Chains A and B, each alone.
Chain A
């Protein structure tokens, strides 16, 4: 299926807010079984805050799981004939309408229909606030994705990453498609390791603004910032517990870097690992009972797992002499990490923790900072091309790849946000 290589650029529908750092998304590769779906323009969307059908099509295409067939515009949502699209190869039809309510308010309504029986598979009606016009479209795409694949869609989730332009660093939050870019923090000193709270309202990160690495938690909604760890030495690598109450961090307080657990308000700090080598990059397992981390206790860096209550760590990676940056999928079954291979290439790998099957997902050579989409089907990571840092997305089966870049500067340290309520 890879021979049907898809390459296109989703250009930004540039509005003033995102003009400064518009992300460009390029896609290559498609899924093994693409579901053919017909999507047509929504009734009344020309005057709506966002072009719903175009966004839905772009989302579904980017996922690599769908083949889009252009359908006729919907005129009356209650009188849509889906079965006529069977002949055009579609399994399902997406039809929608946008209605202008009073006072500049909009409402979107959508139907997902089978082209075989003509019956409804799904649908909903939802308000469409002006500032969240695109979000309404992403929620439709999420629903289509879920109803047709059985997997939750991630189109309405967000990502965070760091942009560096000269001496300027910006922690930015964007929609998963790279639109709606909002700077959450700007600084003249480095910002690294952003990490979303499980509820998606806060981001923990490391800022060098005090001339050394200090761990902060920033509430994105209220702007409130809390210093979570500012001990002697380096404070870094924050990772949230699944309940959002605690963070695992890496501190160099003892001289070398070790793992500590701290409450989200900065209280109750306690040391977890006890060694003289490097222990860093902690990550909670999905059940919150284990910590995966990077340690060079065996000589080179490898990934280990230990109980959150302490005890002897178990080594997890063996495939290379250099394995770093563990990330665990939400179902706890897959480990993503960066492995240094022959020729000095740093590449994204996944390990099936049950079968011990290892798979390389990238063909670039300077990858770092992997991050799972909350549905576990995609991994966002940082890479390099043409001497500049950019972002990339790979599906965990290795078939679909996307590249996200910006006009100027380096983009790095990406992290995929959670499902939002």
Chain B
């Protein structure tokens, strides 16, 4: 029992010393504000307020904005008819939503890596210019090229190549 008393004494002394080491804060008078009593609301526990979920049309699977790729012919940076719809869909969306995009140009593996890097840039630029013509502000788009370095399809045939001659519209994080 003696031991326990000793420990208690040491602890209380330590606490006292600790308290002394910080100067006491000046006392502030508590302000008393008088508020008028609010009338008690009778809650309507059976009411239902309808809410519409804001689904971003960009995220609808199979929706018209799901296709974000514009395809090109060999050694061409002309946006084809099938790509114009993709461009106009995304231009319309950007008109309604404050988003910024990256346009990544790609090429197939044939030819040199440097010419393909430049060609991919031209493809990205072609999409950027098409979107600018549809009213998308320049500051919300950036055109870059990956050249032949990041093929989506890995094969060495026209089927793979046609998939890789492409500009992708990539939405930047909000």
List residues of A whose CB falls within 8 A of some B CB: 190, 192-193, 208, 212-213, 233-234, 236-237, 250, 252, 255-257, 278-281, 294, 300-301, 322, 324-325, 338, 340, 344, 346, 366, 368-369, 384, 387, 412-413
Contacts and interface: CB of A to CB of B under 8 A. Distances in A.
8 contacts: A190-B150, A193-B113, A236-B117, A252-B145, A257-B117, A278-B121, A281-B114, A346-B111
Nearest to A389: B109
A278, A300, A338 pick with most chain B CB within 10 angstroms: A278
Given A234-B121, A255-B125, A256-B122, A280 B114 contact: yes
Nearest to B129: A255
A281 B147 CA distance: 14
Nearest to B74: A344
Contacts of B121: 233-234, 252, 255-257, 278
Contacts of B125: 255-256
Contacts of A193: 113-114
A278 B119 contact: yes
Contacts of A237: 114, 117
Given A252-B118, A278-B118, A413-B113, 12 more contacts: A192-B149, A193-B113, A213-B147, A233-B144, A234-B145, A255-B121, A278-B115, A280-B114, A294-B114, A301-B75, A324-B111, A324-B114
A346 B156 CA distance: 14
User: 3 smallest A-B Cβ distances: which pairs?
Assistant: A257-B118, A190-B149, A278-B118
A413 B112 CA distance: 9
Nearest to A294: B115
Interface in B136-157: 143-145, 147, 149-150, 156
Interface of A is mostly: strand
A272 B108 CA distance: 28
Nearest to A300: B75
B112, B144, B150 pick with most chain A CB within 10 angstroms: B112
A387 B156 CA distance: 7
Contact of A255 (B75, B111, B143, B156): B143
A346 B113 contact: no
B110 interface: yes
A210 to B, nearest CB: 12
B113 A192 contact: yes
A102 to B, nearest CB: 51
Nearest to B121: A252
Given A256-B125, A300-B75, A212 B111 contact: no
